[in-house]
Chain A
Amino acid sequence: MKDFLLFPLYLARLILQSALLAVGQIWVNKTRSLLTTLGIIIGVASVAAVIAALEGMNRRILENFESFGTRKIFIWPERPQTGRQKNIAYEQIRFEPEQFDGLLEHCPSVEYLSLMTSLGRLPGRFMEHTVDAVSVTGVDASWFKIENRPIVVGRPFSLLDETQGRYVCIITTQLRDKLRMDRDCAGQIIQLGSNSYVVAGMVDDKPNNAMLFGQAGEQLDAYIPYTTAAKLLYRPWIRVMASCRDSTRAEEARAEIRFFLRQTRGLKPGDPDNFGVFLMESEVRRFKQVMEMITLVAAGIVSISLLVGGVGIMNIMLVSVSERTREIGLRKAVGARPGAILTQFLVEAVVLCMIGGFFGVGLGQLLARTIANSAPLMEQAQIPGWAIAVAFGFSGGVGIVFGMFPAMKAARLNPIEALRHE
């Protein structure tokens, strides 16, 4: 019983002793050890660098998603793939504004909702300055909140603007500058197409998400109240944007919207939806899953190089065992149990691999930095903490797996035969 309790203590002491012994042994054969661990160094470095690159890319893309807005929901009419509406004309499944009345009250997970309709590209003029094409869109005041584009100059659409369909607009910085308007452009009057609008306010240009969502390019945009746009168009083609209160409630929001719209659009049970609800959040989730898979697969493939390193370790450990056969014989003669010899050589292999892992992580760090400097997409490439832990764990594991055979060979030696070895 006492022995049983003391066993972990003995084992810990044995491992510590073996580790000290191993460090000594490795120090004696510095050059050889370093060359041997080269395989491990390169393996660990490449695993670390690949993970760093993928992580950096991942983080950069997620940031882009974040700035694009992960809570966004897009809703648009869509012809069902099956059912009686399969070949229906788009005209007949268009959104009507009334279909969205009361949606916010019935969908508690939805925070904002905005109808949108495009007036297309219209010529713009301010005093004697003109631009050929301003993209004019009718939106609700809440659209700026969904898009996270605060009004930086002037004011948002007022309730009166919206209910009366007033001729007011909110323009982008680029449009203001192109038309040479005052910095504080609020209150100035511009011509868009055949109508004049009072500039209520200005929003900053969209952040440049060139990588993910295409070059933003020229942003000569003007936004007018949806109601105003509806007055100007015969039958506006409506798209809808919404946002959920919290990205964790995105799926709930989708369910609520579907339930609500199926009712207001008069769909019967069993009818397929004739509209689409697209969640930014589920795209992000899918992207994350894909990225995780890619990272795992890439790391797995690169780990094969670690196995090659492991074979090198096994080879040198076999050499070490045969060089030190007499030593092993002596240790056994003075009372080393097979387990103690096994531990000694196993720990030596593991320490060798861990040293390789240490230098490998260092080299990987250098590689990661080089990668980070090489492309803007990789700017954030750095080895995450878990990858360092995994790299160490893996090299330790390689040490155990590939050190086991030589260590067992040493442990099984007959003391007398070992002592007689030249």
Chain B
Amino acid sequence: MSKPCPLIEVHQLERTYIIGAEKVRALRGVDLTVYANEYVAVMGHSGSGKSTLMNVLGCLDRADKGTYRLNGIDTTRMSEGQLAHIRNRQIGFVFQSFELMGRLSALKNVELPLIYSHVPFWKRRQMAKEALNRVGLGQRIGHKPNQLSGGEKQRVAVARALVNQPSLLLADEPTGNLDSATSEGIMKLFEKLHAEGQTIIIVTHEADIAARARRIVRMRDGQIVSDLSAEQDMTRQDGHRLGIEGAAR
């Protein structure tokens, strides 16, 4: 059996923010390959470049150097319009702060990406309902965001990300604004989606959340410092902790 074509192929990615005279090297040569149906957690301290990487992977931002192939297609030289098309069809992005439109009902919020894929309105409704059913919010379609709890809002956002059946679901600290009980619900949802075959990359700095993924990528100062399966990562972390504790003892 030959190896399938990777979904994501990132090579020597660099991204530098320039604020006045100051330069912040948020990504300093990141290499990453992700295959379809993987469930990856990206961990790292605040400021280690996780969001920057996710934005580039989500085609929301461009790298300064390096290449990013999605489904074998190089995105580095794409026009704004082509990137928009990829964001629309191939990528679902879930933000920490939900980013729902307050004036629109849950259903209308989920329909939003479909507007830009030229789906006629009678099909939009149906597709949005199905997506809301998938995240377990089939009963709340008419509610506005301010009538929903945090967890429900994030489910609407996940439904919106899924509505166009993207090949890649990206979530940047999706539970960052939620309490642990609600977070648990969202993580169960991600597990269910992964079981259904969805490729997922999630950013988190909570170990127990990352532990639910199959693969854990750790970042520090704009570089990937470890990339292991969840089990390997756990033992290694335990080893670290034991080592530290041993040293302390």
A pairs with B: yes
Q: Which residues of A contact B (CB under 8 A)?
A: 10, 13, 17, 24, 28, 326-327, 329-340, 414-416, 419
Shortest 9 CB-CB contacts between residues of A and residues of B: A335-B88, A334-B113, A335-B116, A337-B84, A337-B81, A335-B87, A416-B60, A336-B116, A415-B60
Knowing A335-B84, A339-B81, the reply to whether A13 touches B101 (Cβ < 8 A) is no
> With an 8 A cutoff between CB atoms, is B93 at the interface?
yes
Q: Which one of A13, A331, A333, A340 has the greatest number of beta carbons of chain B within 10 Å?
A: A333
CA distance in complex: A419, B51 (Å):
13
CA distance in complex: A416, B60 (Å):
6
Q: Does A335 lie within 8 Å of B89, measured CB to CB?
A: yes
Apart from A334-B87, A334-B113, A338-B84, list 13 A-B contacts with CB within 8 A: A24-B103, A329-B99, A330-B101, A333-B60, A335-B84, A335-B87, A335-B88, A335-B89, A335-B117, A335-B164, A416-B55, A416-B60, A419-B95
> With an 8 A cutoff between CB atoms, is B240 at the interface?
no
CA distance in complex: A332, B55 (Å):
13
By beta carbon, the residue of chain B nearest A9 is B118
> With an 8 A cutoff between CB atoms, is B228 at the interface?
no
CA distance in complex: A339, B80 (Å):
10
5 residue pairs of the A-B complex, CB under 8 angstroms, read A329-B99, A333-B58, A335-B117, A337-B81, A419-B60
Cβ–Cβ < 8 Å partners of A415 in chain B:
60-61, 87
Q: Which residues of B contact A (CB under 8 A)?
A: 55, 58, 60-61, 80-81, 84-85, 87-89, 93, 95, 99, 101, 103, 112-113, 115-118, 160, 164
B88: which of A334, A338, A339, A416 is its contact (CB, 8 Å)? A334
Knowing A415-B60, A416-B61, the reply to whether A336 touches B99 (Cβ < 8 A) is no
CA distance in complex: A415, B101 (Å):
15
A338: which of B81, B89, B93, B160 is its contact (CB, 8 Å)? B81
Q: Does A333 lie within 8 Å of B61, measured CB to CB?
A: no
By beta carbon, the residue of chain A nearest B117 is A335
Q: Does A333 lie within 8 Å of B118, measured CB to CB?
A: no
**Overall SS of chain A's interface:** helix
Cβ–Cβ < 8 Å partners of B101 in chain A:
327, 330
Knowing A336-B84, A337-B116, the reply to whether A28 touches B60 (Cβ < 8 A) is no
Cβ–Cβ < 8 Å partners of A24 in chain B:
103
Chain B proximity of A21: nearest CB distance (Å): 9
A335: which of B55, B61, B103, B113 is its contact (CB, 8 Å)? B113
Q: Does B117 lie within 8 Å of A333, measured CB to CB?
A: no
Q: Does A28 lie within 8 Å of B88, measured CB to CB?
A: no
Q: Does B61 lie within 8 Å of A17, measured CB to CB?
A: no
CA distance in complex: A110, B164 (Å):
80
By beta carbon, the residue of chain A nearest B97 is A419
Cβ–Cβ < 8 Å partners of A414 in chain B:
61
Cβ–Cβ < 8 Å partners of B103 in chain A:
24, 28
Q: Does A337 lie within 8 Å of B118, measured CB to CB?
A: no
Q: Does A337 lie within 8 Å of B85, measured CB to CB?
A: yes
Q: Does B115 lie within 8 Å of A17, measured CB to CB?
A: yes
Cβ–Cβ < 8 Å partners of A336 in chain B:
84, 88, 116
CA distance in complex: A340, B116 (Å):
8
By beta carbon, the residue of chain B nearest A415 is B60
Chain A proximity of B137: nearest CB distance (Å): 18
By beta carbon, the residue of chain A nearest B100 is A330
Q: Does B160 lie within 8 Å of A334, measured CB to CB?
A: yes
Cβ–Cβ < 8 Å partners of A337 in chain B:
80-81, 84-85, 116
Q: Does B87 lie within 8 Å of A10, measured CB to CB?
A: no
Chain A proximity of B31: nearest CB distance (Å): 22
Cβ–Cβ < 8 Å partners of B93 in chain A:
333-334
Chain B proximity of A341: nearest CB distance (Å): 9
Chain A proximity of B95: nearest CB distance (Å): 7
Chain B proximity of A412: nearest CB distance (Å): 9
CA distance in complex: A17, B124 (Å):
13
By beta carbon, the residue of chain B nearest A418 is B60
Cβ–Cβ < 8 Å partners of B61 in chain A:
414-416
CA distance in complex: A335, B116 (Å):
6
Q: Which one of B55, B88, B95, B115 has the greatest number of beta carbons of chain A within 10 Å?
A: B115
CA distance in complex: A324, B217 (Å):
35
Chain B proximity of A420: nearest CB distance (Å): 10
CA distance in complex: A107, B118 (Å):
72
A330: which of B55, B80, B99, B164 is its contact (CB, 8 Å)? B99
A419: which of B99, B117, B118 is its contact (CB, 8 Å)? B99
Cβ–Cβ < 8 Å partners of B88 in chain A:
334-336
Cβ–Cβ < 8 Å partners of B85 in chain A:
335, 337
Cβ–Cβ < 8 Å partners of A10 in chain B:
118
Chain B proximity of A297: nearest CB distance (Å): 45
CA distance in complex: A96, B25 (Å):
107
By beta carbon, the residue of chain B nearest A330 is B99
Q: Does B99 lie within 8 Å of A333, measured CB to CB?
A: yes
Cβ–Cβ < 8 Å partners of A335 in chain B:
84-85, 87-89, 113, 116-117, 164
By beta carbon, the residue of chain A nearest B58 is A333
Q: Does B116 lie within 8 Å of A334, measured CB to CB?
A: yes
Cβ–Cβ < 8 Å partners of A340 in chain B:
116
CA distance in complex: A335, B114 (Å):
9
Q: Which one of A17, A326, A414, A415 has the greatest number of beta carbons of chain B within 10 Å?
A: A415
Knowing A17-B115, A334-B113, A335-B117, the reply to whether A326 touches B99 (Cβ < 8 A) is yes
Cβ–Cβ < 8 Å partners of A329 in chain B:
99
Chain A proximity of B23: nearest CB distance (Å): 17
Q: Which one of B84, B89, B117, B164 has the greatest number of beta carbons of chain A within 10 Å?
A: B84
Cβ–Cβ < 8 Å partners of B55 in chain A:
416
CA distance in complex: A333, B57 (Å):
12
Q: Does B80 lie within 8 Å of A333, measured CB to CB?
A: no
CA distance in complex: A338, B85 (Å):
11
Q: Does B112 lie within 8 Å of A331, measured CB to CB?
A: yes
Chain A proximity of B164: nearest CB distance (Å): 8
Cβ–Cβ < 8 Å partners of A338 in chain B:
80-81, 84
Cβ–Cβ < 8 Å partners of A339 in chain B:
81
By beta carbon, the residue of chain B nearest A25 is B103
Cβ–Cβ < 8 Å partners of B113 in chain A:
334-335
